[in-house]
């Protein structure tokens, strides 16, 4: 454990206007598209995307040397979007650049230019991809923990190997693993969705009272909050009473 003090490919689809997102907005019907077998399996488990926002070609060009080409296939077809009522989100890494820099500033990874946020969950976890490596970092803003996988970081993947790795990232995403649990081990997501309603693309389920300050991992302590604001508060707390930890997994 390291502590640091300064908070530092076939794509065919048709689109017709039909269903609504969890937030009540009309959504294109994308049930006829097909990707690779791995992503099709992911869709069979997580359902159709919602709250879709196109990712510009300019962003794809900017990240061409940082992310696998296969991810751009998904971006072009789906954009940034949520899955499974907002449990998991495919994101535009440009929207998370400042947050990533904020968390990694002063850490062993602060000067790296190969890291990008590619996804996040409903509870604000950020999933960070390393070019030619895979998902090397997960950031948990609820506990101020940066989880780091050195084995994956030691990878030196070819382009084809990295495309397989990004397919596996989506195919092996697990609803149970992405969920949070309360103090008795009971999953929170479905109950939070029912009680609080769905989250938007810039929102998350966050704890009203910080866990490190005595807040409970409970449904009653959750609320819908702006993701960016929540992350900034969490990171600022690191300078006062919740030191950010890097934990090797």
Q: Where are the domains of the chain?
A: 2-248
Average pLDDT over residues 178-199: 98
Residue 148 has pLDDT above 90, yes or no: yes
**83-126, pLDDT tens digit by residue?**
999 999 999 999 999 999 999 998 999 999 999 999 999 999 99
Residue 213 has pLDDT above 60, yes or no: yes
| Predicted pLDDT of residue 123 | 98
| Predicted pLDDT of residue 198 | 98
| Predicted pLDDT of residue 18 | 34
Average pLDDT over residues 138-166: 97
Q: Is the pTM of this model over 0.75?
A: yes
Average pLDDT over residues 194-206: 98
Q: What percent of the chain has pLDDT over 90?
A: 79
d(CA 161, CA 133): 9
- Between residues 182 and 235, which one has the greater pLDDT? 182
Highest mean pLDDT among 53-62, 211-220, 238-247: 53-62
The closest of 154, 212, 152, 147 to 2, measured between CA atoms, is: 147
Contact 187, 91 (CB under 8 A): no
- Ramachandran region, residue 72 (left: φ > 0; alpha: ψ -120 to 50; beta: rest): alpha
Residue 31 has pLDDT above 60, yes or no: no
Q: Which residue has the tokens 């065919």?
A: 12
**Three-point CA angle 234, 238, 239, nearest 5°:** 130
DSSP secondary structure, the chain, as one string: -EEESS-----B---EEEEE-TTS-EEEE-TT-B--HHHHHHHHHH-S-EEEEPPPHHHHHHTTTTS-HHHHHHHHHH-EEEEGGGTEEE--GGGGHHHHHHHHTTSTTTT-SSEEEEEEETT--EEEEETTTEEEEEEETTTTEEEE-HHHHT----HHHHHHHHHHHHHT--HHHHS-B-TTS-B-HHHHHHHH----TTEEEEESS-GGGT--SSGGGEEEEEHHHHHHHHHHHTTTTS-EEEEE-
| Predicted pLDDT of residue 237 | 82
d(CA 66, CA 68): 7
| Predicted pLDDT of residue 1 | 36
Q: Which pLDDT band, with edges at 50, 70 and 90, does 243 fall under? A: confident
Q: Which pLDDT band, with edges at 50, 70 and 90, does 197 fall under? A: very high
What are φ and ψ of residue 30, in 5° steps?
-115, 20
- Between residues 67 and 21, which one has the greater pLDDT? 67
| Predicted pLDDT of residue 13 | 33
């Amino acid at each position: 454990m390291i502590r640091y003090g300064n908070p530092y490919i076939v794509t065919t689809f048709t689109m017709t206007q039909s269903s609504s997102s969890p937030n009540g907005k009309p959504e294109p019907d994308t049930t006829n598209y097909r990707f690779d077998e791995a992503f099709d399996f992911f869709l069979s488990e997580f359902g159709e995307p919602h709250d879709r926002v196109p990712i510009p070609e300019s962003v794809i060009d900017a990240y061409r040397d940082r992310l696998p080409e296969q991810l751009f296939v998904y971006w072009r077809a789906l954009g940034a979007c949520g899955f499974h009522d907002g449990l998991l989100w495919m994101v535009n890494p440009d929207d998370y650049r400042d947050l990533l820099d904020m968390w990694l500033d002063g850490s062993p990874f602060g000067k790296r230019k190969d890291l990008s946020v590619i996804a996040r969950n409903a509870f604000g976890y950020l999933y960070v991809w390393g070019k030619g490596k895979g998902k090397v970092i997960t950031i948990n803003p609820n506990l101020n923990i940066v989880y780091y996988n050195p084995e994956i970081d030691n990878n030196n993947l070819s382009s084809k190997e990295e495309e397989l790795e990004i397919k596996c990232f989506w195919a092996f995403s697990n609803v149970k693993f992405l969920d949070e649990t309360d103090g008795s081990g009971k999953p929170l997501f479905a109950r939070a969705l029912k009680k609080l309603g769905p989250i938007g693309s810039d929102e998350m389920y966050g704890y009203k009272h910080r866990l490190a300050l005595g807040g409970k991992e409970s449904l009653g302590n959750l609320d819908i909050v702006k993701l960016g604001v929540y992350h900034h508060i969490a990171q600022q707390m690191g300078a006062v009473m919740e030191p950010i930890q890097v934990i090797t997994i």
